[in-house]
Amino acid sequence: MAAVDLAGLGLDEGGHLLLARALAGLAPGERLIVTGRHPALRLHLAAWCRAHGHQLAADDSLSVVRGDADDRRWARAVRAGDAAGVPEPRADQGWGLAARGALVEAGGPPLGAHWSQREHVWADIAPQLYAAAAASQWDPATAVNWPAPGDGVPADGVPADDGPADGGPGGVPDEVERAVVQLMTYLVENEQAALIIPARLLSQLHPHYREVMQLLASQAADEARHVEVFTRRALLSGGPLGTSSAGGRASLQTLLDEPDFTTASFLLSVLGEGTFLDLLRFISDHAPDQVTADVTRLAVRDEARHVAFGVSHTAHLAASDKSYLGTLRQAVERRHSALQDTAGLNAEVFDSLVVLAAGSWSPEAISRGWQAVRDLQSRMDEGRRRRLAYIGFPDDEAAELSALHTRNFM
C-alpha cells in the first residue's frame, strides 16, 4: 500500500506538498498511509482532507482515501492555445488573463476584450517587430546630444517674453529657431495622438495575442519618448512653444474617434506615421542643430516599426478578406469629407518647414526651401502610394486615396 512519511513536518509547514504528491500517483478510492511525528498531524490531516475532497479513514491508522475532487476540478479545464506557436483564430473570453498555452480552470470572470479574433489584430511580423522594439529602446537622456547647461542661454542673461531671446542652441538664428520650436510644438501634438491610439487599442485587445499586446505597449512607450524629446528640444531656447491649430487637432480627433482596430491602425500607422517618416527625415536632414537632428532621427527609427506593423497587419487582413479594401477606402473618404472644411495643416507648420529648409530669409533661400517642401510632399505621396499598393490597392486607387489623405500629414 502507498505510504508517505512526513517525519516532524506539519501540514502547515509544507507537509501538504508531500501528501499531495503522494496522492497524485493514486487513483480515486486508493488509500495512502500517512506517518509523522507532528503533534497536530491528525487534526490537520482531517481538515486538509475535508478541504481537498479526500477522506480520512475512520480507524486509528491515519490513512487517506483519495477523492476525485481534483480530477473533477480540472475535467472541464481547457488549454488556451499554444504558448510558442501561432495564436488561435479566436481567443475565448473565458481564458481571461491566463497565459497563452496555460491549462485554464473553468469558471472565473470572462475578459470582455473587444478584439478577440486573430485576423482583426495579427501580423506574422509582430513577434520580430516586438523583439526589435525591445532591443532598440533608447534613453532620451543619453541618446541625444543635449547641450551642456549654459549653452543657449541668452547673452544678456534676460530671457525674452516672446520667442527665443538669442537664438537657439549652438547659435541657431532666431527665426530659424522659431521655426524649429513651431515644428516641435506640432510634433508633440501628433505624438500625443499616436500614443493614445495604440494605448486604447491595447486596452481592448485579448492578451492571447501576446506579441501584438507587447508591440502596442512598446509603441506607446516610443511615443512617450517622442513627446519628451520634442518637448525638450522646443524648450531648449527658453522661449514659449508655438501654436496649435484647430484644423490640425480636428484631423487628429478623427483618428482618436476611429473605433475599428484595423482601420485605426491603417489611418494612423500606414497613412499618418508613414507620412511622418518623410517629415521626420526632412526635419533631421535640414536640422540647424545637432539636437533637432538627433531627436528626429531617433523618432524615425521607432516610427519605421510602427509603420511596418500597420502595413503588415492591414495587408494580412486584406489578404484574408478582399472586401476589406472597400472598408479602408470608405474610411479614407469619410475622413476626407469630415476634414474638408478644416484648414488641415497649421499654416505656421508649413511655413516653418520652408524656413527650416531655407536656413535664412533671402529670397533665393526661401525659394529653395519652398521647393524642398514641395519635393517632400511628393515623397510623402509616393510613400503612401507604395504602402497602399502593398496592402492590395491597384495603382490608380492608391494614387486617389493618397491624394485624399489629410493635409495635416498625420
Between 194 and 202, whose beta carbon lies closer to Fe ion? 194
Q: Is 54 in the site for Fe ion (CB under 5 A)?
A: no
Contact with Fe ion (CB under 5 A) among 54, 66, 208, 226: 226
Between 223 and 278, whose beta carbon lies closer to Fe ion? 223
Q: Write down the H helix ranges in 168-289.
A: 174-203, 210-235, 246-256, 261-265, 274-285
Between 125 and 194, whose beta carbon lies closer to Fe ion? 194
Q: What is the phi/psi pair of residue 249, to 5°? A: -70, -35
CB of 393 to Fe ion, least distance (A): 22
Tell me the DSSP string of 157-180: S---SSS-SS-SGGG--HHHHHHH
| CA atoms of 153 and 168, how far apart (whole Å) | 9
Tell me if residue 2 falls in helix, strand or coil: strand
Residues whose CB is less than 8 angstroms from the CB of residue 37 and which lie 6 or more positions away in sequence, other chains included: 7, 8
Q: Give the binding range for Fe ion (CB under 5 A) out of 205-213, 299-307, 348-356, 358-366.
A: 299-307
Burial class (CB in 10 A: 0-12, 13-18, 19+), 45: buried
Cell output for 322: 478582399
CB of 146 to Fe ion, least distance (A): 19
Q: Is 306 in the site for Fe ion (CB under 5 A)?
A: yes
Site for Fe ion in 142-201 (CB under 5 A): 191, 194
Tell me if residue 410 falls in helix, strand or coil: coil
Between 88 and 302, whose beta carbon lies closer to Fe ion? 302
| 118, 90 contact by CB (below 8 A) | yes
Between 160 and 199, whose beta carbon lies closer to Fe ion? 199
Q: How many residues bind Fe ion (CB under 5 A)?
A: 7
Q: Is 66 in the site for Fe ion (CB under 5 A)?
A: no
CA 324 to chain centre: 23
| 272, 197 contact by CB (below 8 A) | no
Q: Is 133 in the site for Fe ion (CB under 5 A)?
A: no
Q: Give the binding range for Fe ion (CB under 5 A) out of 2-10, 68-76, 124-132, 302-310.
A: 302-310
CB of 394 to Fe ion, least distance (A): 28
For residues 323 to 362, the per-residue mask of contacts with Fe ion, x marking binding by CB under 5 A and - elsewhere, is ----------------------------------------
CB of 195 to Fe ion, least distance (A): 8
Nearest to 242 by CA among 169, 151, 145, 175: 175
Nearest to 247 by CA among 353, 176, 348: 348
Q: Give the binding range for Fe ion (CB under 5 A) out of 65-73, 100-108, 120-128, 267-275.
A: 267-275
Between 116 and 346, whose beta carbon lies closer to Fe ion? 346
DSSP conformation class of 267:
I
Contact with Fe ion (CB under 5 A) among 88, 273, 278, 294: 273
Interacting residues with Fe ion (CB under 5 A): 191, 194, 223, 226, 273, 303, 306
